[in-house]
């Protein structure tokens, strides 16, 4: 565990450096220091290795099945791995791979799909990936003329094309989007992609509604078409100005009604289904701090964080060194539970705390990040479980039967928590927050933590030369239990990018120049930082 008392003192001295009219976010690494080229190259080789498997067995399909040596289309059939992973290849300087990815993207008809398209994945993976690749290729990172200009322009064209076909989803009385759309008929619906369709279902996840402002603000700026920003603003207005009382100030429910614009429940927290709504409030402000609407987003985020620290933060029984953010039930009662998705909160709190010069928020972010790291070094596989619960400070659990399990009690006595879902799906959120901790404090301990996770991933998922990578069934078992036959596109977009950027020169995709969407796709900050002034 990191010595948090020491970190608190350091954090206070390392908060944002402010000139009269700009802010410096990232730790001031001395020129040429802060990277590790040997480790960065090792991560780059992992990208090449897994990409070769994808190119051989699944090129053009959405995802790789590494054990079956096949591909699958579960994200609209546009080649999600290619679009989601191209900006990582750009950052790594893999010009041969990027060239083939650009050619594929330029050949795809993004106005058509044989599948129902969901707004959330279309936004964060496709539109976010396309805009990020466009920004990065047109930056100082890539020498002019490296790639075919027509194929580079096709990135922005594709992002615009997809966005235009999503617009009918927002034709609701509240302005909130329906969840899915048929691109051929332009018919939007709120059917759950997993459950049978229920046309009467008018509820949509908070994260679906609140995870589009960053991408569509950027698209409006690149195209000089304000329609995307305006749709995003109308949607966001429902989320940050709810015409109803909340149990805790600014702690919202997990879904909204597209007809009324009101939250349908009080299930709160920073977990999946809500997570990236909070994430984008501060990130869109960092992207464009002079935009009046983003000031409102920032203010709502500050209120959310204050309520989180006051009402949701929890220290497990006899483990005061751990700080988790609890979920709540519909009555606002803490469930003393957290999932992997919520571990993004540490990095988000660090970014916002640094930008707003708030040492309390920054310290809270470090505590949450360090606690999510503890999930790695207490598991047999060296990787984090997907979900966990804990006994609260008075030794109580939300679910009474959990306390009757000797296994839960024994695990909690050792680790401070007990595992409720032991699967490892390569979700990147704990690594993401540790990366922010490194880039914002300069403390190399975070690099070591991330390298340990990288080595554990290779050991557990690459058990023989015929397997590119695989998800794991149970991290409480040595090597993570059984292998799962799936490589998600975000393995290329997020996992490998955060690993690589941890060891690349810190000036590569600096946090003073870029802000990241929830899928780890960086776009150019417009103003506010000294690097953009």
For residue 443, count other CB atoms closer than 10 A to its CB.
18
Contacts of residue 132, defined as CB under 8 A and 6 or more positions apart, other chains included, come to 87, 517, 521, 522, 523
Q: Is the pLDDT of residue 302 over 50?
A: yes
Q: Are 207 and 274 in contact (CB under 8 A)?
A: yes
Binding residues: 518
Q: How confident is the model at residue 4 (pLDDT cuts 50, 70, 90)?
A: very low
Contacts of residue 154, defined as CB under 8 A and 6 or more positions apart, other chains included, come to 102, 105, 106
Q: What is the largest CA-CA distance in the chain?
A: 65
- Taking alpha carbons only, the member of 343, 348, 323 closest to residue 427 is 343
Number of helices (H), then strands (E), belonging to the chain: the values are 19, 18
- Region 65-85 average pLDDT: 97
CA 27 to chain centre: 22
Strand partners, 529: 23
Look at residue 78 in the predicted model and tell me its pLDDT. 99
| Chain segment 265-284, per-residue pLDDT in tens | 999 999 999 999 999 999 99
Q: Are 206 and 273 in contact (CB under 8 A)?
A: yes
| Chain segment 107-124, per-residue pLDDT in tens | 999 999 999 999 999 999
| Chain segment 490-516, per-residue pLDDT in tens | 999 999 999 999 999 999 999 999 999
Look at residue 466 in the predicted model and tell me its pLDDT. 64
Class of domain 1-32+315-472: mainly alpha
334/15: higher pLDDT: 334
| Chain segment 30-55, per-residue pLDDT in tens | 999 999 999 999 999 999 999 999 99
Look at residue 195 in the predicted model and tell me its pLDDT. 52
Between the two ends of the chain, the Cα-to-Cα distance in Å is: 38
For residue 408, count other CB atoms closer than 10 A to its CB.
21
- Taking alpha carbons only, the member of 232, 382, 384, 371 closest to residue 315 is 371
Q: How confident is the model at residue 469 (pLDDT cuts 50, 70, 90)?
A: confident
> CA 491 to CA 499: how far, in whole Å?
11
| Chain segment 371-400, per-residue pLDDT in tens | 999 999 999 999 999 999 999 999 999 999
- Region 171-182 average pLDDT: 95
Q: How confident is the model at residue 18 (pLDDT cuts 50, 70, 90)?
A: low
Binding residues for Ca(2+): 518
For residue 276, count other CB atoms closer than 10 A to its CB.
28
Quote the DSSP letter at residue 177: P
For residue 124 the two structure tokens come to: 């964060």
Every domain of the chain and the residues it spans: 1-32+315-472
Q: Are 127 and 519 in contact (CB under 8 A)?
A: no
**Token pair 């705390």 in the structure block, residue:** 353
Query: Based on the number of CB atoms within 10 Å of its own CB, is 370 exposed (0-12), middle (13-18) or buried (19 or more)?
Result: buried
Query: Based on the number of CB atoms within 10 Å of its own CB, is 425 exposed (0-12), middle (13-18) or buried (19 or more)?
Result: middle
Q: What is the pTM of this model?
A: 0.95
Q: What percent of the chain has pLDDT over 90?
A: 91
- Taking alpha carbons only, the member of 361, 378, 394 closest to residue 476 is 378
Q: Is the pLDDT of residue 346 over 80?
A: yes
> What values do phi and psi take at 291, rounded to 5?
-75, 120
Strand partners, 118: 180
| 294-301: long-range pairs with CB below 8 Å, 24+ | 294/217, 296/240, 297/213, 297/236, 297/240, 298/356, 300/240, 300/250, 301/352
> CA 234 to CA 232: how far, in whole Å?
5
Flag the least confident range among 1-10, 28-37, 200-209, 503-512. 1-10
Query: Is residue 151 classed as helix, strand or coil in its secondary structure?
Result: helix
């Amino acid at each position: 565990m990191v010595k948090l008392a020491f970190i608190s003192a350091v954090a206070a001295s390392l908060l944002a450096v402010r000139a009269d009219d700009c802010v410096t976010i990232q730790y001031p690494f001395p020129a040429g220091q802060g990277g590790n080229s040997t480790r960065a190259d090792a991560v780059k080789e992992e990208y090449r290795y897994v990409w070769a498997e994808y190119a051989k067995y699944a090129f053009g399909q959405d995802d790789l099945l590494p054990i079956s040596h096949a591909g699958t289309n579960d994200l609209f059939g546009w080649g999600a791995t290619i679009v989601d992973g191209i900006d990582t290849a750009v950052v790594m300087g893999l010009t041969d791979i990027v060239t083939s990815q650009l050619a594929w993207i330029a050949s795809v008809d993004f106005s058509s799909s044989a599948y129902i398209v969901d707004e959330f994945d279309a936004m964060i993976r496709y539109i976010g990936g396309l805009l990020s690749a466009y920004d990065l290729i047109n930056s100082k990172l890539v020498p002019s003329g490296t790639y075919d200009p027509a194929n580079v322009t096709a990135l922005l064209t594709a992002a615009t094309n997809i966005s235009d076909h999503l617009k009918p989803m927002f034709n609701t009385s509240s302005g909130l989007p329906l969840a899915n759309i048929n691109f051929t008929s332009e018919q939007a619906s709120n059917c759950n992609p997993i459950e049978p369709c229920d046309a009467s279902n008018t509820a949509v996840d908070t994260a679906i509604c609140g995870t589009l402002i960053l991408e569509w603000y950027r698209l409006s700026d690149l195209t000089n078409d304000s329609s995307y920003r305006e749709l995003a603003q109308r949607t966001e207005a429902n989320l940050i100005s709810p015409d109803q009382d909340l149990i805790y100030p600014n702690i919202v429910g997990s879904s909204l009604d597209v007809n009324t614009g009101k939250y349908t429940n009080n299930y709160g927290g920073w977990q999946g289904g809500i997570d990236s709504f909070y994430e984008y409030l501060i990130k869109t402000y960092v992207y464009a701090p002079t935009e009046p609407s983003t000031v409102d987003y920032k203010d709502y985020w500050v209120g959310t964080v204050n309520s989180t620290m006051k009402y949701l933060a929890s220290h497990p029984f006899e483990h005061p060194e751990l700080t988790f953010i609890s979920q709540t039930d519909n009555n606002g009662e803490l469930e003393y539970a957290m999932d992997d998705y919520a571990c993004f909160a540490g990095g988000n709190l660090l970014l916002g705390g640094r930008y707003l010069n708030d040492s309390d928020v920054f310290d809270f972010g470090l505590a949450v990040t360090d606690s999510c790291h503890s999930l790695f070094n207490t598991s047999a596989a060296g990787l984090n479980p997907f979900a966990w619960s804990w006994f609260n400070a008075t030794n109580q659990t939300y679910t009474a039967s959990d306390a009757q399990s000797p296994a839960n009690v024994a695990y909690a006595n050792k680790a401070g928590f007990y595992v409720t879902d032991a699967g490892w799906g390569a979700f990147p959120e704990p690594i993401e927050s540790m990366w922010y901790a490194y880039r914002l404090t300069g403390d190399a301990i975070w690099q070591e933590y991330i390298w340990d996770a990288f080595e554990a991933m290779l050991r557990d998922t690459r058990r023989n030369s015929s397997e590119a990578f695989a998800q794991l069934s149970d991290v409480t078992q040595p090597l993570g239990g059984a292998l799962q036959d799936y490589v998600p596109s975000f393995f290329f977009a997020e996992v490998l990018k955060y690993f690589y950027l941890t060891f690349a020169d810190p000036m590569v995709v600096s946090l003073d120049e870029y802000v990241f969407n929830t899928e780890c796709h960086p776009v150019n900050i417009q103003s506010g930082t000294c690097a953009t002034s």
